Structure 1
Amino acid sequence: MSLKELQDKRSKLVHDAREAMGEITKNTDEARSAELEKRHDDIMVEFDKIEKQIEREARLVAAEERINKAAEEERKAKRPNGSDTEQRAVVEGDKPEYREVFYRFLAGGADLGELDPEERKILRAGLTKVDAEKRIQTVGTTTAGGYTVPTELANFIVRSMKMWGPMYDEDICTTITTSSGNPIKIPTVDDTSKSGGQHTEGTALTDDGSEDATFGQKSLDSYGYDTEFVKFSLELARDSIFNMESLLGSLLGERLGRIANTQLTTGDGTGDPNGIVTASSLGKTAAAAAAITFDEVIDLIHSVDPAYRQSPKVRFMFNDLTLAALRKLKDGNGQYIWTMGNVQTGVPGNILGYNYSINQAMANIATGNKTMLFGDFGKYFVRKVGSPLIGVLRERFWPDLGIAGLIYLDGELGDTAAVKHLIQA
């Protein structure tokens, strides 16, 4: 099924779901209401499947375009005589690119002996001196050491991490990227409760210290997380050279994305980031242990000061099962509070006019769980230390290979009044 067909099917499912719920009125008997609600839920399950298919299809099309482009560049670079490396050097009038040598290193079984002297020199040198902090040596012999990850692969891993965790996305939170892991101190201040007063002519200004601004300080450190080794065959590295960037980026990015998002969401701040859920303050306590009402959503919104609600990064955050519950809520006029977006025009779905992010690291609706967040996520600081690190091992997994990713990060909410949570009774 093409991308357009999937999108058309998704639109029809939303129409059918609304139609099913629209048939429920005050005069509808319980049996018929239950039947229509089940029909709605079944349709929305299918809707979620189609959403995921659309996402996979879009990613596949993008990956195919990259592969085709790389293959075309490879064909253009080849000449009748000489090795591929020599041919590319002749065409480009320069040394082989680091990325080419890195892939050749993997395809050769992570064996430096498979590279010529010039290629080994390029691999050891890395991209530039600026990238020196991204070098890592693996456990084992020096000939199986890890080398600087190519910029393209590093970027692919970061993109994949964002897809698997909204907390790693600079469009949602405020990110700070540093080359070293030294602690960073963030000054904090909440002055929303202060105001000015009427001035009387000829009267001295009050100076009793009661209106002084109260500053605080929080620290962003550097905590490391790894993927453990991802094993793959020598044949795969050798024969799927143009797919390797996509393959490794997806595998490592998904794993790093999950752990980074989890820590930035629910980390306890002791030896880990202070997660957004942990750091947020109470906005509303739901009356029920396993349900959320429309009025409680409104109360959560208004528990956050209007100054924060004007931020471009204000939003809701919850997991997918909570979204399923919110989709069924209606206002007093029978209108759903959830509004469908449009992927084609870049319009996201929203709840009561506010954007939302799905975060699977957040808890389900159950007793005592913090199930919803709302506020200015721009006040949550994510500290990224350098780029992802890559390590390659051959001997341990011979004849296959193992590759692992490592990242360093931290997170802290600079202003606890900016993000509030709803907790179940």
Structure 2
Amino acid sequence: MTMSARTAELRPALENKMHGDPLAETKAGPTPEVGAAFDEFMNAFEAFKEANDERLGEIERRLAPDVVTEEKVARLNDVLDRQERAIERLTIEGRRPRLSGGTGAEPRLERAGADLSGHGAAFSRYLRAGETAALARLERKAMAIGTSDGADGGYLVPDETEAEIGRRLVEVSPIRAIASTITVSGSLYKKPFAVSGPATGWVGESEARPETDTPVLDALEYPVMELYAMPAATGALLDDAIVDLSAWLAGEVDQAFAEQESAAFVNGDGNKKPTGFLAVPNVAESAWEWGKLGTLSTGVSGGFPADMPSDLLIDLVYALKAGYRQNAHFVMNRRTEAAVRKLKDADGNYVWAPPAGLGSRATIMNFPVVEAEDMPDIAAGSLSIAFGDFSRGYLIVDRQGIRILRDPYSAKPYVLFYTTKRVGGGVLNFEAIKLVKFSAS
């Protein structure tokens, strides 16, 4: 079977997968800026292909590319990376609610918090002026978890604000966008599983059912850890009645939370943070066992194989069981993606393809690519590429409730808002994620 035929076999209805992608669609449609950035990206990709074809031709003719051609390919690769990030940034910014009324739509969170006499209004008065009485009464009435004393534990943000922060995190946190999430009210989530698998067998209609062995159960544990951000506001901002402070707060903390979360979901050691999928034990795919992630070696320390390097990616895809491939993603950082972008299959087709349209992702052999900057660069022994169904392979546990403590004293004349959320995470299914190891064995 040729490489292109095998690649065609992997096509699992890309359009359907894109519809399930949290970044695949926008409610308001693309802005002219996004459209222009996408056009520039496609033009840059055509130029990149032309330059890379020239580089590959020089390798075939002279066993080494011209230095000028190498520099041109690297420069165009950088341009593609910048354009891809610009499209993603413009798309995300286009979805964000406005911070002021002005002309056009009202701020989303002000519309959502229509109960102006309830939690939303009390929270706004706390943010602007530090009034605590109304919030304290509401939290005592709701029997909120934790202290209601603003001097100790702060106050719960309204549900609308918490939902907005969660929505933004899905948009800007690469692993959260593809993993499973569950919200709990406690500090620990346990997921039981059968160590030896279920006891089953075949019997006739009238035969006695033999007694089965008692299943051996164990549990995966996901403790939640505290994550914080501390945005600052000026007095002028707090005094401006037209500014939606709930939307402002969500916009200030989303990036801070996303950066810390993403690093932990990839590399976290489980000490006061989630356990990343690269931190769990790994073993060669041929010796895979539960509790470890399977790896495929490149056969070259710190690099791809010299002969048909794209074959390794095909092997990686087929190392995953069919049931997990339908919703699988490649995960790597932009430098690794730049290296993969240069690879061709046996028929001369690039295995990396640009996004099919605005709001969709680039693909490798028709599987979406998630760019996670916390994935390691290609180096000796590095685990720089992951592939799998992260919705079944990795679980993020959020504890319900985001708390905020207003601090007008520590950084005068600014007002600090110490915002905390609790989150945990870890591998859920060790069969659903495979890794590429850049090592000789």
Fold agreement, TM-score > 0.5? yes
Which residue is equivalent to 2:236?
A: 235
Provide the secondary structure at the position in 1 that maps to 2:401: strand
Q: CA separation in 2, counterparts of 1:264 and 1:407? A: 15
Q: CA separation in 2, counterparts of 1:97 and 1:316? A: 45
Q: CA separation in 2, counterparts of 1:201 and 1:58? A: 60
* 2:83 equivalent to 1:19: no
1:295 to 288, 293, 311: 311
Q: Cα distance 1:33–1:382, how it changes in 2: closer, same or farther (>3 A)?
A: same
Provide the secondary structure at the position in 1 that maps to 2:136: helix
The number of aligned residues is: 386
| CA deviation vs aligned residue, 1:360-390 (integer Å, no higher than 9, x gap) | 2221111222111122211322111013222
Write out aligned runs for 1:311-322 (5 A). Answer: 312=327, 314-322=328-336
Normalised by the size of structure 1, how large is the TM-score? 0.77
Q: CA separation in 2, counterparts of 1:387 and 1:334? A: 52
Which residue is equivalent to 2:144?
A: 132
Which residue is equivalent to 2:36?
A: 5
Which residue is equivalent to 1:259?
A: 260
| CA deviation vs aligned residue, 1:177-232 (integer Å, no higher than 9, x gap) | 11232x332122477999978x99999999896xx8654321222222222x3333
Q: Cα distance 1:278–1:139, how it changes in 2: closer, same or farther (>3 A)?
A: same
One-letter amino acid of the counterpart of residue 276, structure 2: G
* 2:329 equivalent to 1:308: no
1:397 to 411, 421, 428: 411
* 2:62 equivalent to 1:49: no
Which residue is equivalent to 2:383?
A: 370
| CA deviation vs aligned residue, 1:93-115 (integer Å, no higher than 9, x gap) | x854543443344333x3x3xxx
Q: Cα distance 1:223–1:379, how it changes in 2: closer, same or farther (>3 A)?
A: same
Q: Cα distance 1:53–1:261, how it changes in 2: closer, same or farther (>3 A)?
A: closer
Write out aligned runs for 1:138-149 (5 A). Answer: 138-139=150-151, 146-149=154-157
Which residue is equivalent to 1:185?
A: 190
One-letter amino acid of the counterpart of residue 145, structure 2: E
2:425 to 397, 411, 414: 411
Give the drift of 1:268.
2.4
More helix by share: 1
Does the 8 Å CA contact 1:134/1:386 hold for their aligned counterparts?
A: no
Provide the secondary structure at the position in 2 that maps to 1:168: coil
2:356 to 321, 328, 342: 342
Provide the secondary structure at the position in 2 that maps to 1:328: coil
Provide the secondary structure at the position in 1 that maps to 2:402: strand
| CA deviation vs aligned residue, 1:232-257 (integer Å, no higher than 9, x gap) | 32123223752544432232121222
Comparing 415-424 and 21-30, the one that deviates more = 21-30
Q: Cα distance 1:317–1:58, how it changes in 2: closer, same or farther (>3 A)?
A: closer
Give the drift of 1:320.
1.7
Does the 8 Å CA contact 1:322/1:371 hold for their aligned counterparts?
A: yes
Provide the secondary structure at the position in 2 that maps to 1:397: coil
One-letter amino acid of the counterpart of residue 402, structure 1: L
Percent identity over the alignment?
Answer: 22
Provide the secondary structure at the position in 1 that maps to 2:345: coil
Q: CA separation in 1, counterparts of 2:237 and 2:205? A: 83
* 2:347 equivalent to 1:333: yes
Does the 8 Å CA contact 1:126/1:148 hold for their aligned counterparts?
A: no
Q: CA separation in 1, counterparts of 2:204 and 2:135? A: 74
Comparing 125-134 and 52-61, the one that deviates more = 125-134
Q: CA separation in 2, counterparts of 1:243 and 1:30? A: 61
One-letter amino acid of the counterpart of residue 14, structure 1: F
Comparing 353-362 and 234-243, the one that deviates more = 234-243
Q: Cα distance 1:193–1:45, how it changes in 2: closer, same or farther (>3 A)?
A: farther
Q: CA separation in 1, counterparts of 2:312 and 2:143? A: 49
Which residue is equivalent to 2:297?
A: 285
* 2:163 equivalent to 1:155: yes
Q: CA separation in 1, counterparts of 2:88 and 2:360? A: 15
Does the 8 Å CA contact 1:363/1:371 hold for their aligned counterparts?
A: yes
Provide the secondary structure at the position in 2 that maps to 1:334: coil
Residue ranges of structure 2 left out of the alignment (5+ in a row): 1-31, 281-291
Q: Cα distance 1:20–1:243, how it changes in 2: closer, same or farther (>3 A)?
A: farther
Does the 8 Å CA contact 1:135/1:146 hold for their aligned counterparts?
A: yes
Comparing 129-138 and 253-262, the one that deviates more = 129-138
Normalised by the size of structure 2, how large is the TM-score? 0.74
Does the 8 Å CA contact 1:367/1:424 hold for their aligned counterparts?
A: yes
Give the drift of 1:61.
3.7
| CA deviation vs aligned residue, 1:2-25 (integer Å, no higher than 9, x gap) | 332222211211121122223342
Write out aligned runs for 1:348-387 (5 A). Answer: 348-377=361-390, 378-387=392-401
Which residue is equivalent to 1:173?
A: 179
One-letter amino acid of the counterpart of residue 362, structure 1: M
CA RMSD of aligned residues (A): 3.7
Q: Cα distance 1:27–1:290, how it changes in 2: closer, same or farther (>3 A)?
A: closer
Which residue is equivalent to 2:91?
A: 58
Give the drift of 1:347.
3.6
Q: CA separation in 1, counterparts of 2:314 and 2:216? A: 30
Does the 8 Å CA contact 1:252/1:404 hold for their aligned counterparts?
A: no
Q: CA separation in 1, counterparts of 2:353 and 2:39? A: 17
Provide the secondary structure at the position in 2 that maps to 1:167: coil
Q: CA separation in 1, counterparts of 2:372 and 2:136? A: 39
One-letter amino acid of the counterpart of residue 185, structure 1: K
Write out aligned runs for 1:104-123 (5 A). Answer: 104-108=125-129, 110=130, 112=131, 122-123=134-135
Q: CA separation in 2, counterparts of 1:148 and 1:249? A: 14
Q: CA separation in 2, counterparts of 1:47 and 1:11? A: 9
